[in-house]
Amino acid sequence: MATPDTSAAQTGAARSGNPAGTDGAKAAGAAPEAGRVVAVRGAVVDVAFTGALPPVNDALTVQWDQDGPLVVEVAAHIDASTVRAVALGSTIGLKRGTPVTPRGGPITVPADAAVLGRLVDVMGEARDGGPPLPADLPRRPIHRPAPPLAARKASTAIFETGIKVIDLLAPLPEGGKAAMFGGAGVGKTVVVMELIQAMVAGYDGISVFAGIGERSREGHELLADMAASGVLAQCALVFGQMNEPPGARWRVGLTALTIAEHFRDAKHQNVLLLMDNVFRFVQAGSEVSGLLGRLPSRVGYQPTLATEIAELQERITSVAGAAITAIEAVYVPADDFTDPAVTAISSHLDSTIVLSRAMAAEGMYPAVDPLGSSSVLLDPTVVGREHYEVAEAVRATIAQYRELQDIISLLGVEELSTADRRAVTRARRLQRFLTQPFTVTEAFTGMPGRSVRRADTVAGCRAILDGACDDWDEADLYMVGTLDEARARHEAAGASTNAEAAA
């Protein structure tokens, strides 16, 4: 297989950062002419041109006789007259000799208020069964440079989620990037859905949801739930489903980010960007890399792994007057947090939320690991001295409890010292107090969802650390909102016990 021309790829990549989508070849006075398909290998299409070649990341339209247009994206120049492109749709029925027309720039998607309340695909076409989007909407290219450092605005504002364990131990920055890491079945999507509900209650802005490699069932449920809860009018949904070619799944995150950038830059509105699942973005890139004939890197990932993640993550930032706040779900293959994809994504984050399978097995939902999760905002100058001290004390108490678990399992809690028994008692109550019923799971659990202010979470944990709940039953603190609710449950249980004793 021919080796892609590195210099041509670099030239095209540099050109693709031009927001206006101006063709470098056109600037030189030689616009690419129509080409023809010379080879088709699955999602990879080779196109030959007689004149100038379109730059890397430019879009080409295949003029075939099938239903619907087929768009391919230039991935490499393999020689002086041929480009290798990745298809964003099915290539079944495509044959050699089919004419291909350059679009004169990267893929563009509609970016306007008309996309709010709609579900679109990687090309910006409506896929929710509603009317098509107007043809005259302004469009933006999906390949754009990140804002320069001079234009970025550092922010220490906290995005309060109403989820106790997150707000206490891994507060999310407004205008920053946070991700939830976890294996299969530990609750990543449930937490993302709850964050959408939190956005409705206390967030004044636009939200964009990127479903990367989602199942059809998940997309349908998300659309129905958001429509029922009244969130949909202020949210744009962008989906690249599992059954779509890898090229579509690879670029759907950039489509969602382009829409978010429009509201940030043109409308000066805050945007909440939710991405589920970023690991599938990496997987799609790995598939594309293999189809292009590139040699794999560590653990079989693409050699361009770090670059691809950086191109996505570095565009998520705050500029003067508006911010994009990203909350991402990241699948951890085989619960291996040393996986190259996981470590590459982690390096770009402000807050890291680790979901624990062991806690999920114990019924501690949300299954956020208090020791593995962290945030750059957990600093006394940002969250306040009291919040910082309570968070550190909670971590220290739970860490002490985990160190003693082997002894407890072998000898029993009675063999511990008085101080250790006190720490175990409070750690178990802290773990249960940091559980919380979610609004999105109310239909399954029968428990109404709870949203708790950060100040109430800090006050409740402080009371538990000070021993105010040492004589309470652990069940009184499980799946409650504030400590006052737990106190009411404790008093009700005590009154019931007294009534039974009197009887």
153 is an active site residue: no
What the block records as the tokens of 369 is 């690991």
Using DSSP's 3-state secondary structure scheme, residue 59 falls into strand
Nearest of 190, 240, 179, 102 to residue 373 by alpha carbon: 179
Cα–Cα separations (whole angstroms), residue 152 to 20, 388, 463: 21, 27, 40
Q: Tell me the pairing of strands 99-102 and 59-62.
A: antiparallel
Q: Give the CA angle between residues 486, 488, 491 to the nearest 5°.
A: 110
Enumerate the β-bridge partners of residue 77.
83
Determine the longest span between alpha carbons in the chain, in angstroms.
97
Nearest of 272, 194, 187, 180 to residue 229 by alpha carbon: 194
* H-helix or E-strand spanning residue 74: strand 70-77
| Contacting residues for 430 by C-beta, under 8 A, at least 6 apart | 394, 397, 398, 461, 464, 465
215 is an active site residue: yes
Q: Give the whole-angstrom CA distance, residue 177 versus residue 327.
A: 6
Catalytic residue among 188, 264, 294, 429: 188
Catalytic residue among 73, 214, 261, 311: 214
DSSP assigned state of 147: P
Q: Hey, what long-range contacts does 77-80 have (CB within 8 A, 24 or more apart)?
A: 77/4, 77/5, 77/8, 77/9, 77/12, 77/53, 78/2, 78/3, 78/4, 78/5, 78/46, 79/2, 79/5, 80/53
500 is an active site residue: no
Catalytic residue among 41, 96, 215, 402: 215
Using DSSP's 3-state secondary structure scheme, residue 205 falls into coil
Tell which phi-psi region holds residue 119, choosing left (phi > 0), alpha (psi between -120 and 50) or beta: beta
Tell me the CA end-to-end span of the chain in Å, nearest whole number: 87
The answer to whether 99 touches 32, Cβ cutoff 8 Å, is no
Nearest of 203, 224, 204, 222 to residue 212 by alpha carbon: 222
Q: Amino acid identity, residue 177?
A: K
Q: Give the whole-angstrom CA distance, residue 453 versus residue 347.
A: 29
Q: Give the whole-angstrom CA distance, residue 32 versus residue 358.
A: 57
Residue 42: how many other CB atoms lie within 10 Å? 13
- Which residues are annotated as catalytic? 188, 214-215
